[in-house]
């Protein structure tokens, strides 16, 4: 059967979604899971966009070896050079160059003629091919481009050394029939198209990204691009887990193989959701919490008689099989460590000991510790490898009564190492907390969005808070987890502030190091 490669852009196109802000440790954790998931190519970021993105791409390229790691570059020499510096330590350095080819983009955004765009693309691909063994070139807004011009420019970039050519439906405008026809047209008319990998990249503005991606595959695409859970700009990208399961369930129809490990889908989906703060809609295909729920009596009756009456996908297929027995306060270190390994976590002794201590503390408060709780404990240890909080919450107390003014008092450690106490009021408990923390951080803070949800089930479930805010003009996202949602809210607020301070500290060190060299 023909093999279809999966190009995952969760860490680049997915992170461009409004409200998503991943740090280096979080990106590395997701990249490791994408490697286990079986992604052929992992687009780790846009190295030239910021020092933080450069560092994340570099660490991922140096760490991940079973997937090809790539970085995005504009069709300019400096971007390609920056990508090389970030990716040269990878097992197979790969660069992804893009340039718009549609009339509206060329005229209004690039302000270039088609001949100038062609010249720019060829020059960039030639330059990259002298350095990288793998060069992908993307025709941004390809679907709305003139097909004859697409053929012309693809002829030239393939001759210049491109090893993959990507035909994106950048604004999600295509229908499956039209998008498939475009791939068939290119396969029949582009010189050397059989020597390179032909890739599809679809956005979901009209809800057809997955259907369009499969149409491209049916008409000659060798690679499909997308994100986990379909996250991405605007309405998002094609959801890779949906494509992978569709190709598997309808294998007799498509006659295609992928290297995706389907049993890693649920774990990958949950990790991306937790770290990005983007909730999975309950009725989402494959990974939504209702994907295997049967409420109707007729459906339930059929399921009891034969699950195949209403279930074409089993939970076990995507790694969502029956949850193992929960651990409790009497569980030992060996069982705890074994569960970490079973769940796909690799922790050193220091991290394992820290996680076990937190597990015991949590077990004293909860009757049972579920997989969701363990996921939080294990993930926390891996994400704290490279990030130390600057503001550390020591204590929070909230006074609230229906006839009283809510008041929050916070005790916290500051970047200077001092312990301070601050207090103020608000219209509600959460506003009082946020107002108090704004006094603590002494900056201009605006709350843009705030969400609270439970992790797991039951009245003693952990609470998770996600805060999107603007701190001194920079938009940030913070997450906090605690048994009390008010404590989780305070932690999420400070997590967002700490992210910015850690980033500023890193960038200042880089500048000082560069100045010292000069």
**pLDDT tens readout for residues 183-217:** 999 999 999 999 999 999 999 999 999 999 999 99
Q: For the residues 392-398, what does the mean pLDDT come to? A: 95
Query: Do residues 237 and 203 make contact, with C-beta atoms less than 8 angstroms apart?
Result: yes
pLDDT value, residue 386: 47
Helix 371-383 vs helix 265-276: crossing angle, to nearest 10: 60
Query: Do residues 290 and 283 make contact, with C-beta atoms less than 8 angstroms apart?
Result: yes
pLDDT value, residue 374: 85
Q: For the residues 455-481, what does the mean pLDDT come to? A: 88
pLDDT value, residue 302: 67
Instruction: Give the C-alpha separation, 202 to 224, whole Å.
Output: 9
Q: With CA atoms as reference, report the closest residue to 136 among 113, 117, 161, 118.
A: 161
Instruction: Give the C-alpha separation, 26 to 14, whole Å.
Output: 14
Q: What's CA 187's distance to the chain center, in Å?
A: 32
pLDDT value, residue 2: 94
- pLDDT tens by residue, 242-286: 999 999 999 999 999 999 999 999 999 999 998 998 989 999 999
Q: Pick the residue with more confidence: 262 or 403?
A: 262
Q: For the residues 382-392, what does the mean pLDDT come to? A: 67
For the CA atoms of 58, 59, 61, 66, the dihedral, rounded to the nearest 10 degrees, stands at -170
For the CA atoms of 24, 27, 32, 38, the dihedral, rounded to the nearest 10 degrees, stands at -150
- pLDDT tens by residue, 29-81: 999 999 999 999 999 999 999 988 999 999 999 999 999 999 999 999 999 99
pLDDT value, residue 304: 61
- What does the longest C-alpha to C-alpha distance in the chain come to? 77
Instruction: Give the C-alpha separation, 25 to 390, whole Å.
Output: 16
Answer CATH for 2-276 from 3.40.250.10, 3.20.20.70, 3.30.360.10, 3.90.1150.10 = 3.20.20.70
Instruction: Give the C-alpha separation, 281 to 210, whole Å.
Output: 17
Query: How would residue 385 be classed by pLDDT, with cut points 50, 70 and 90?
Result: very low
- Quick check: 307 pLDDT over 80? no
- Range from 83-87, 308-312, 443-447 carrying the lowest mean pLDDT: 308-312
* Three-class DSSP labels, 283-324: CCCCCCCCCCCCCCHHHHHHHHHCHHHCCCCCHHHHCCCCCC
Provide the residue ranges of all domains of the chain, joining segments of one domain with +: 2-276, 292-321, 333-383, 392-507
pLDDT above 70 covers a percentage of the chain that reads 94
- Quick check: 167 pLDDT over 80? yes
Query: Do residues 60 and 28 make contact, with C-beta atoms less than 8 angstroms apart?
Result: yes
* Sequence-distant (≥ 6) Cβ neighbours of residue 385 within 8 angstroms: 25, 351
pLDDT value, residue 285: 96
Which residues on adjacent β-strands are paired with residue 338? none
Q: For the residues 504-510, what does the mean pLDDT come to? A: 75
pLDDT value, residue 88: 97
**Backbone Cα Rg of the chain:** 25
- Quick check: 296 pLDDT over 60? no
Q: Which two tokens stand for residue 207?
A: 């809800």
Q: Which two tokens stand for residue 26?
A: 């979080």
pLDDT value, residue 363: 86
Instruction: Give the C-alpha separation, 435 to 152, whole Å.
Output: 59
- Quick check: 160 pLDDT over 90? yes
pLDDT value, residue 325: 59
- pLDDT tens by residue, 134-158: 999 999 999 999 999 999 999 999 9
3-state SS assignment for residue 427: coil
3-state SS assignment for residue 144: helix
Mean pLDDT for the chain overall: 91
3-state SS assignment for residue 201: strand
Query: Do residues 372 and 456 make contact, with C-beta atoms less than 8 angstroms apart?
Result: yes
33: left (phi over 0), alpha (psi -120 to 50) or beta: alpha
- Quick check: 322 pLDDT over 70? no
Query: Do residues 20 and 231 make contact, with C-beta atoms less than 8 angstroms apart?
Result: yes
Q: For the residues 14-21, what does the mean pLDDT come to? A: 87
- Range from 98-107, 248-257, 371-380, 397-406 carrying the lowest mean pLDDT: 371-380
Q: Pick the residue with more confidence: 186 or 297?
A: 186
Q: Do domains 2-276 and 392-507 have the same CATH topology?
A: no
- Quick check: 323 pLDDT over 70? no
Instruction: Spell 486-518 as b/e; 16+ CB within 10 A means b.
Output: bbbbbbbbbbbbbbbbbbeebeeeeeeeeeeee
Q: For the residues 367-379, what does the mean pLDDT come to? A: 80
Query: How would residue 339 be classed by pLDDT, with cut points 50, 70 and 90?
Result: confident
Q: Which CATH architecture has domain 392-507?
A: 2-Layer Sandwich (3.30)
* Sequence-distant (≥ 6) Cβ neighbours of residue 264 within 8 angstroms: 33, 36, 37, 38, 319, 344
For the CA atoms of 202, 203, 208, 214, the dihedral, rounded to the nearest 10 degrees, stands at 20
HSE toward the beta carbon, residue 130, CA cutoff 13 A: 8
Predicted TM-score of the model (pTM): 0.88
Q: For the residues 366-392, what does the mean pLDDT come to? A: 75
- pLDDT tens by residue, 90-130: 999 999 999 999 999 999 999 999 999 999 999 999 999 99
- Quick check: 326 pLDDT over 70? no
């Amino acid at each position: 059967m023909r093999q279809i490669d999966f190009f995952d852009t969760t860490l680049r196109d997915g992170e461009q979604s409004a409200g998503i802000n991943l740090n280096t440790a979080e990106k590395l954790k997701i990249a490791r899971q994408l490697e286990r998931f079986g992604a052929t190519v992992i687009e780790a970021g846009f190295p030239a966009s910021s020092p933080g993105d450069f560092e994340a791409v570099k660490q991922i390229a140096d760490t991940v070896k079973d997937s090809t790691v790539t970085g995005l570059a504009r069709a300019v020499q400096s971007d390609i050079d920056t990508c090389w510096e970030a990716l040269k330590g990878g097992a197979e350095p790969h660069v992804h160059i893009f340039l718009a080819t549609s009339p509206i983009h060329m005229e209004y955004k690039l302000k270039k003629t088609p001949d100038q765009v062609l010249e720019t693309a060829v020059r960039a691909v030639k330059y990259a091919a002298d350095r990288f063994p793998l060069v992908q070139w993307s025709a941004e807004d390809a679907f709305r481009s003139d097909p004859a011009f697409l053929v012309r420019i693809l002829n030239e970039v393939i001759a210049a050394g491109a090893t993959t050519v990507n035909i994106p439906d950048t604004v999600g405008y295509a229908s499956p029939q039209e998008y498939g026809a475009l791939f068939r047209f290119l396969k029949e008319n582009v010189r050397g198209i059989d020597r390179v990998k032909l890739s599809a990249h679809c956005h979901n503005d009209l809800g057809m990204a997955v259907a369009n991606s499969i149409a491209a595959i049916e008409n000659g695409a060798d690679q499909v691009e997308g994100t986990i859970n379909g996250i991405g700009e605007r309405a998002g990208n094609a959801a890779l887990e949906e494509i992978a399961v569709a190709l598997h369930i309808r294998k007799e129809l498509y006659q295609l193989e992928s290297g995706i490990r389907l049993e890693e889908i649920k774990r990958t989906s949950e990790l991306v959701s937790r770290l990005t703060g983007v909730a999975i809609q309950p009725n989402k295909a494959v990974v939504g919490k209702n994907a295997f729920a049967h409420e109707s009596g007729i459906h339930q009756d059929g399921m009891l008689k034969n699950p195949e009456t209403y279930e074409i996908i089993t939970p076990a297929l995507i790694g969502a099989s029956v949850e193992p027995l929960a651990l409790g306060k009497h569980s030992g270190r060996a069982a705890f460590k074994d569960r970490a390994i079973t769940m796909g976590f690799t922790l050193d002794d220091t991290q394992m000991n820290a996680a076990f201590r937190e597990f015991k503390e949590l077990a004293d408060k909860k009757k049972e510790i579920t997989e969701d709780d363990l996921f939080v404990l294990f993930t926390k240890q891996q994400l704290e490898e490279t990030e130390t909080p600057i503001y550390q919450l020591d204590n929070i107390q909230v006074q609230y009564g229906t006839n009283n003014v809510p008041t929050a008092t916070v005790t916290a450690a500051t970047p200077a190492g001092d312990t301070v106490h601050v207090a103020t009021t608000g219209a509600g408990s959460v506003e009082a907390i946020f107002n108090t923390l704004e006094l603590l951080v002494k900056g201009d803070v605006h709350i843009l969005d705030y969400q609270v949800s439970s992790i797991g089930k039951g009245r003693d479930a952990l609470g998770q808070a996600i805060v999107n805010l603007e701190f001194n003009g920079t938009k940030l996202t913070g997450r906090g987890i605690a048994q009390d949602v008010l404590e989780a809210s305070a932690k999420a607020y400070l997590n967002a502030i700490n992210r910015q301070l850690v980033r500023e500290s890193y960038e200042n060190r880089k500048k000082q190091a560069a100045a010292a060299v000069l």
